[in-house]
Structure 1
Amino acid sequence: MQLDAAKRFSGANTCSAGSEYLQLAFAEFKNTFQSGFCPSYTALVSSGHVKRPHDEDIQSNVLEIIGSNIQSTYITCPADPAATLGIKLPFLVMIVKNLKKYFTFEIQVLDDKNVRRRFRASNFQAITRVKPYICTMPLKMDEGWNQIQLNLADFTRRAYGTNYVETLRVQVHANCRLRRIYFSDRLYSEEELPPEFKLYLPMQKA
């Protein structure tokens, strides 16, 4: 169950979600694109920072999550630990920059057995391990900006033999720069994406 991150630019403009400096948008679209869904998030920082720098590659502000201890530096959504996202669309797309440091993120889902499962992807793990409540997987990233695509329905079925119902929580740990996270009913080509889901590169000077 290898996660391959294609270095293909596709993504987003931004919307504020719980913080004046957030350049992360949790949005979902299906058939007609819906981009108004922006829940709040909370950040836990230990020996690091969560801030908004300007990324020269894409000429835009992004969310940077940096920490010497990846387990104790992260953002999580929703902010309320008792709340859930309730997103039923099975495809998650994350626009993230490879900083050539340890990086991990985790998605919590609910299956049709009413069991909460977690999928954790890390760029420092070599093999997939499936335990009753968590599946840990290797994450392959190219240099620079990556588009990570997750078929959560397929992961749930292959790992646990159950059916995906909804996504409950998203947690992104150090170390990365994050541009956008969104959910969809299927994977869309660059041409099909609405403007707010595209990531435009600056024009190259001759």
Structure 2
Amino acid sequence: MKQCNTWTAFSKFISGLDIPEAIKEQEGNKKLQVDHQFYLDLFSMLSPAFPNVDQVVVERLSLAGYLYFRTTLLLDQQFDTVSDNTNTSSIKRMMLCMAYHERSIKELTQVFESNHPFWEEFDVIKKRYLEANMLEKKLSKEQQFFTEKLFEQLAEGKSGLSIASVLALCSVNNNFDTEKYWNARCCLFIPASSFLTILMILSRI
């Protein structure tokens, strides 16, 4: 498995942003590198199942995916502090969120043209992620009982970034592998510690 240099690319991106040094240090904290290891390594773990995808493309997608992950974290923080969204900290958080999102999309557009089918499916995944996020907050606030159906709904929605990663790799070179994509979607709900199971399933297809 060839390792992506996602954290290095992210750190370089952060260092070039016109933001206070304190925020750069906070966002590039080494502890986050450890805490976010799954998302930093996601494309490295998936790429062996897609040997025809060039490593340069994998690196670009990996950076885009990680930046999108960081975008969702900032948005979650913004939602949690929605009652106080005019203070300086909140404004800086939103500016950083926009920077992450813009660079993520820029990386994706280097791989997929604007009329590529990837974007349509990606929009569906984003919508389900947002719906799951809102549902999770609602259930937490109201302390509702989790049924199996609700859990599956949340699991699929909250797994959006992982699903989008497989979607991206399946979509490269206009050679969409439908069977591999749907098999991956079915097994992406398992814990990260069991990620090798995903690779085993994909490798058999």
- Judging by fraction of residues, say which structure has more helix: 2
TM-score past 0.5 threshold: no
Greater relative CO (CA pairs within 8 A, separation 6+): 1
- Judging by fraction of residues, say which structure has more strand: 1
Rg (Cα) greater in structure:
2
